[in-house]
Amino acid sequence: MSVRDILRDAIQKKVVVGFTFDGKNYIGSPHALGEGDGGGLVLISRGEDAHEKGVPPTGQWSCLRLADITDVKLLPEEPFHVGHPDAHALKALHKIDIRVA
């Protein structure tokens, strides 16, 4: 399955994913999948499995380019973040294909 297909499945089932982005491992709750400037994007509430400045332990909303995401896997045992994204994070998605209901 492609990165897009796995993220679509995770959004439909409200399942956390583990993934690599920019050479670092993250976990996150994907909330929307669509298109933005530069191609496919996912809106995700992400945390990191290592401690790093700039990423709060409770996570942060991000729109990430699908082309920069690798090693995606479903993590059904992790609790899904059900919060609402801030308006700034959502602006990057110009066309939404699927979102958490």
Q: What digits encode the pLDDT tens for the residues 34-89?
A: 999 889 999 999 875 444 555 555 678 999 999 999 999 999 999 998 878 877 88
How many residues in total does the chain contain? Answer: 101
- How confident is the model at residue 3, as a pLDDT? 97
Mean pLDDT of 12-28: 94
- How confident is the model at residue 65, as a pLDDT? 95
Question: Could you tell me the residue range of the domain that residue 42 belongs to?
Answer: 3-99
Residue for token pair 């999948």: 33
- How confident is the model at residue 49, as a pLDDT? 47
Count structural domains, the chain. 1
- How confident is the model at residue 52, as a pLDDT? 52
C-alpha 101/C-alpha 56 separation (Å) is 25
- How confident is the model at residue 53, as a pLDDT? 54
Q: Please, are residues 82 and 25 in contact by the beta-carbon 8 Å criterion?
A: no
Residue for token pair 């994913």: 17
What is the pLDDT confidence band of residue 97, given thresholds at 50, 70 and 90?
A: very high
- How confident is the model at residue 58, as a pLDDT? 60
- How confident is the model at residue 56, as a pLDDT? 52
Q: Own/partner pairs for 40-44, CB < 8 Å, 24+ apart?
A: 40/4, 40/65, 40/66, 40/67, 41/65, 41/66, 41/92, 41/93, 42/7, 42/66, 42/69, 43/85, 43/89, 43/90, 43/92, 43/93, 43/99, 44/17
